[in-house]
């Protein structure tokens, strides 16, 4: 996505925000630039005319799970539908020089790894991507490295707790449920100490 300041309305336009399910948003990811017509909720996107100039419509990017982007990716409103749409499309890793704060946090909460690399590295990767058919990037969360197919690598930082959650497939609820025994023990203790709180 070779443009700066891609906002959440471009990632998933407002007319598709009526659902609170986390799935089904992938067909409308980048809707306004991905298709040649105007998208509407409930419309079968498989029958819509594609914009041939949009990268995700090109055969070489079919099935991509890493999205390379420019600075301030995910700016604008705080809609969580944006990472839902990216994840539903198949992206697992986003690489950019910077991300909007709320979007960055929402990515981790929804199983997507946002990787921050220096702008000059992202520039280099875009040039190589454009010039090299079959160019591939791999993100190794365990080692906290981004690698090219020819073996070059760049390190990235990620909070240890967020890294643990992504590696173990944990969201906020899953993290809480890891403490289920302690929660149950506390509830039983409170019930014994103040039984009147648990009547009715």
Range of 66's domain?
Answer: 8-169
Instruction: Encode pLDDT of 104-160 as tens digits.
Output: 999 999 999 999 999 999 999 999 998 888 899 999 999 999 999 888 999 999 999
Q: What is the pLDDT of residue 200?
A: 66
Residue 25 lies in a domain: yes
Query: What CATH number corresponds to the domain at position 48?
Result: 3.20.19.10
pLDDT mean values, one per 10 residues, the chain (200 residues)? 95 88 91 93 90 93 94 92 96 97 94 96 94 90 93 93 84 71 84 83
Name the region of 99 (left: φ>0; alpha: ψ -120 to 50; beta: rest): beta
Q: How far apart are CA 73 and CA 184, in angstroms?
A: 41
How many domains are there within the chain?
1
Torsion of CA 94, 95, 96, 101, to 10 degrees: 40
Q: What is the pLDDT of residue 77?
A: 86
Residue 49 lies in a domain: yes
Q: What is the pLDDT of residue 131?
A: 87
Q: How far apart are CA 24 and CA 29, in angstroms?
A: 10
Helix (H, G, I), strand (E, B) or coil at 47: helix
């Amino acid at each position: 996505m070779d443009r700066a300041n891609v906002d959440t309305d471009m990632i998933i336009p407002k007319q598709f925000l009526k659902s609170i399910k986390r799935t089904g948003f992938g067909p409308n990811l980048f809707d306004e630039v991905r298709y040649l017509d105007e998208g509407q909720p409930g419309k079968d996107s498989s029958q819509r005319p594609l914009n041939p100039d949009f990268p995700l419509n090109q055969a070489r990017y079919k099935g991509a799970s890493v999205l390379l982007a420019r600075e301030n990716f995910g700016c604008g409103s705080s809609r969580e539908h944006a990472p839902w749409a990216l994840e539903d499309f198949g992206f697992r890793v986003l690489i950019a020089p910077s991300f909007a704060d709320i979007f960055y946090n929402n990515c981790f909460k929804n199983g997507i790894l946002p990787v921050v690399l220096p702008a000059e590295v992202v520039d280099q990767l875009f040039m190589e991507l454009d010039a090299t058919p079959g160019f591939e990037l791999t993100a190794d969360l365990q080692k906290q490295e981004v690698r090219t197919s020819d073996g070059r690598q760049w390190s990235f930082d990620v909070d240890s707790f967020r890294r643990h959650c992504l590696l173990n497939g944990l969201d906020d609820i899953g993290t809480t449920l890891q403490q289920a025994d302690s929660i149950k023990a506390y509830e039983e203790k409170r019930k014994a100490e103040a039984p009147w709180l648990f009547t009715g």
